[in-house]
Structure 1
Amino acid sequence: MKVKLEVAVLVALAVLSITESPRAAVSPGDTITKDQADRVAELVSPGNLILVKQGMSMKIVPTERLEWPPPYKSATEKYSAQVSLAPNGTLKNYLAGLPFPLVDANDPQAALKVMWNFSYRPLYTDDAISKNVEIASFRPGSTPADPVEHFTIGNVGFYNNTGRTEVNPIPTDPEATRAGIRYRFGAYPFLEPSEMRGFGFIRYRSLDPKIEDNSWMMNPRTRHTIRASASELSDVLGIYQPGAGAGAGAATYASNLDPDSFFGFAAKIEDFNYRFLGEKPMLAVVHAENSPAKACPTDGGRTICPENWEMRQLYVIEADAKQASAISSGVSIPKRIFCIDSEGWFITASDQYDREGKLWKTIATFNAYRDRPIPDARVAIWPFKRMFQTALVDEDVGTGFSTVVRSPGVETDEHESWYINMGIATENVFNPTTMSNAAH
């Protein structure tokens, strides 16, 4: 009861700070266009501000609460009191739910606790499959109907071995202790463009901080599954030359997106150092109106707009790749600054910096909170509202080249797309052999 009361007080203070903030230069009912971008200069990340200035319009709506799924909330109340940080920054005694319900901004370990909360966020705890995910790339001057490149991925999803709250085994799959695998992730098969048909990759995240991810890629040209290094997952997706090793050759298809940026950030938590930059009210999309997300007509399709943006209490965290990391020399994005929602614990924005410390790319995520992905869903219906991502924008702010991920996509008949904690995604789905078979 004490934890519940303290959380309620913190939420009330957060809402009060949002509504009374002198930075709140916008009000529900406003529509922000590129000509009014200065009004939100302090309310979005520097990178996201560039998106607004190039034409991403924003519809300002009232702030609404996000409730955690009841099983996740119960797990937090049951297990969080026993969780702590080990001297090496890893979690001790974690089973399920949010590791650290109360984060003190004055705590020297606040940034790391926020990141572990993000890592075990309430969005997708057990398993998830998103079908027919569409990825389109645009350059300045493109139109929504004429992307530079268009990809469709049959399945994107994962299976968690730890932190499980809704589908047995709960809270831990025996594979976590038997094989030390925290989760399995997969994106395959690519259905288009035709030259990439059959491409895909699978990634296993280890519980051991000293063990980097095990990854496999399916090369559609050679029809062979090859091992991929962890550093390759920090670079953009692409096809390797026939007969070459996994690290030979750069991506040959136009895309900004790298696997480490899925959902805003998907690299291993232990491979970065974190700095707490503050907690402040900012704008974010957490109650998206449109699913499928609509391509922005005022910037050539390079983002999603107009969409509902609301004032949120966000944590701002800087992440820097550890110099001692085995993959630090190959990381293409050594520094990132995240904006993380303090209720949903997902990344709403991420600014990415190159090796010279210059702002290189920016990510904006578009999230919804519903009991189904689309109004006429027949299968993907949950007994309570839950959070899920409808779109992600990853733009090179120097060139204006942008990659937009939409789930569900707009060209497919499968618009339910998200199947979360329904037992559809199993361990076998994320097996290199299964991926290879799907490619054939």
Structure 2
Amino acid sequence: MKVKLEVAVMLALATLSTAGWARAGVNPGDTVTADQADKVVDLVSPGNFILVKQGMTMKIVPTDRLEWPPPYKSATEKYSPQVSLAPDGTLKGYSAGLPFPLVDANDPNGALKVMWNFSYRPLYTDDAVSKNVEIASYRPGSSPADPVEHLTIGNVGFYNNIGRTEVNPIPTDPEATRGGIRYRFGAYPFLEPSEMRGFGFIRYRSIDPKIEDNSWMMNRRTRHVTRASASELSDVMGLLDTTAGAGAGGAGAGTYASNLDPDSFFGFAAKIEDFNYKFLGEKPMLAVVNAENSPAKACPTDGGRTVCPENWEMRRLYVIEADAKQTSVLGSGVSIPKRIFYIDSEGWFITASDQYDRDGKLWKTVATFNAYRDRPIPDARVAIWPFKRMFQTALVDEDVTNGFSTVVLSPGVETDEHESWYINMGIATDNFFNPTTMSNAAH
């Protein structure tokens, strides 16, 4: 298994470095500006191409290799031979690591295997906390210094009960068996703006595919914790009580925070089982996997609607279409019924996502900006890891029908806490994911 993995990766990189760059309209050392956007029309998603045309400058750099953390690599070699797909598409025999190290494009279940690999990707396998995450929204004509809205979240964290590779208990927390919970996610308290202060939400993902997420939100009006439905999580900032936000057809933009829906966190955070998937191809495309800047820098050439200039390199990406199942709890009410993902074949994270409305028209586009190093910032004192890790520095979510854009920064730029990412360090505890703790933090 180890030899097969090494050979597969080396062959993919060799193919990418020759055929990929040979067919590209750009080369390492190039800088792509808005007036040169046509050079990358076939190298980015249709939605991300719009971002380039509106001013997102790209610095083209050589392709580099992303090494998995050694514990994750060992877990893949040990456990992946026992993993298979059940008739209903769920995983059987999974313990830790990448479920399917070798994906065949001709496999009728190839798209689903890619999505399970994304779901158990080598980024944050055990636990993680990102502090003082900033979310800023911009309209065309805005400036980086003058966003329409600016939010700061004190803590964004999650804890995995399954697939653990570095922090005991390994590879499974007893809570997975005892409570049936795969992972827990929390984002609270919102620190600004003042009208959102104290808001937050918690989400539990069940192991059982028939059980939808258990979620709670801190109601900013009543100052009490209430349950949140799956449809609220799938809607564009539905948890923030947007009233002028995006409905069918994608008209308008969310009030308060953003276009961003909780199901688009990290590119995609919905339940894998709630969608059908199609394998659309595997191709060399540009993506940000070795970001130069952390914190990310607001793009001066598009009014801050993205981050730029940043390092883009040729990657081999899986292109997967995801269509919401009409039989899922979301049914026909989901505001984003179709998404097309671009997934890095080495890091297994989503580099871009184009989102389509109920009429089948391109509505929103997501671009993620990722880094690969052994600490989140050069002068980190606490968040120093024993090996290089992959982590997200920024995410852009733009409504391409009107240019309203949301930029998520982790770490943010306005805080003194720039280390931000504490990954697999045992910092996220059970107490953080307790609705009562969220309520206490809001008062």
TM value normalised by structure 2: 0.96
Question: Which runs of 5 or more structure 1 residues have no equivalent in the other structure?
Answer: 242-249
For 1:254 and 1:121, locate their aligned partners in 2 and report how far apart those are by CA, in whole Å: 28
Task: Say whether residues 1:280 and 2:283 are aligned partners.
Answer: yes
Deviation at 1:236, TM superposition (A): 2.5
Task: Say whether residues 1:30 and 2:27 are aligned partners.
Answer: no
Of residues 327, 330, 334 in structure 1, which corresponds to 2:333?
330
For 2:344 and 2:257, locate their aligned partners in 1 and report how far apart those are by CA, in whole Å: 31
Task: Say whether residues 1:369 and 2:372 are aligned partners.
Answer: yes
Task: Say whether residues 1:379 and 2:382 are aligned partners.
Answer: yes
1:435 maps to 438
1:134 maps to 134
Question: Which runs of 5 or more structure 2 residues have no equivalent in the other structure?
Answer: 243-252
CA contact (8 A) 2:236 2:335 kept: no
Q: Comparing 149-158 with 229-238, which one deviates more in the overlay?
A: 229-238
Question: Aligned ranges for residues 235-274 of structure 1 at < 5 Å?
Answer: 235-237=235-237, 238-240=239-241, 252-274=255-277
Deviation at 1:408, TM superposition (A): 0.2
CA contact (8 A) 1:350 1:362 kept: yes
Counterpart AA for 1:38: D
CA contact (8 A) 2:135 2:257 kept: no
1:344-372 C-alpha deviation (Å, 9 max, x unpaired) = 00000000000000000000000000000
2:125 maps to 125
Three-state SS of the structure 2 residue aligned to 1:71 is helix
Three-state SS of the structure 1 residue aligned to 2:23 is coil
1:206 maps to 206
For 2:93 and 2:128, locate their aligned partners in 1 and report how far apart those are by CA, in whole Å: 25
RMSD: 1.2
CA contact (8 A) 1:18 1:24 kept: no
CA contact (8 A) 1:135 1:152 kept: yes
1:15 maps to 13
Of residues 391, 395, 404 in structure 2, which corresponds to 1:392?
395
Task: Say whether residues 1:188 and 2:175 are aligned partners.
Answer: no
Identity %: 85
1:58 maps to 58
Three-state SS of the structure 2 residue aligned to 1:198 is coil
1:204-243 C-alpha deviation (Å, 9 max, x unpaired) = 00000000000000012211000010010011225449xx
Deviation at 1:426, TM superposition (A): 1.2
Counterpart AA for 1:18: L
Deviation at 1:4, TM superposition (A): 2.3
Question: Aligned ranges for residues 70-85 of structure 1 at < 5 Å?
Answer: 70-85=70-85
Three-state SS of the structure 2 residue aligned to 1:78 is helix
2:112 maps to 112
Three-state SS of the structure 2 residue aligned to 1:102 is coil
Counterpart AA for 2:279: F
Task: Say whether residues 1:144 and 2:147 are aligned partners.
Answer: no
1:117-168 C-alpha deviation (Å, 9 max, x unpaired) = 0000000000000000000000000000000000000000100000000001
For 2:110 and 2:165, locate their aligned partners in 1 and report how far apart those are by CA, in whole Å: 25
Task: Say whether residues 1:155 and 2:128 are aligned partners.
Answer: no
CA contact (8 A) 2:374 2:384 kept: yes
CA contact (8 A) 1:239 1:251 kept: no
Aligned residue pairs, count:
430
Q: Comparing 321-330 with 15-24, which one deviates more in the overlay?
A: 15-24
Counterpart AA for 2:295: P
Deviation at 1:7, TM superposition (A): 2.1
Residue 252 to residue 303, structure 1, CA distance change in 2 (3 Å): closer
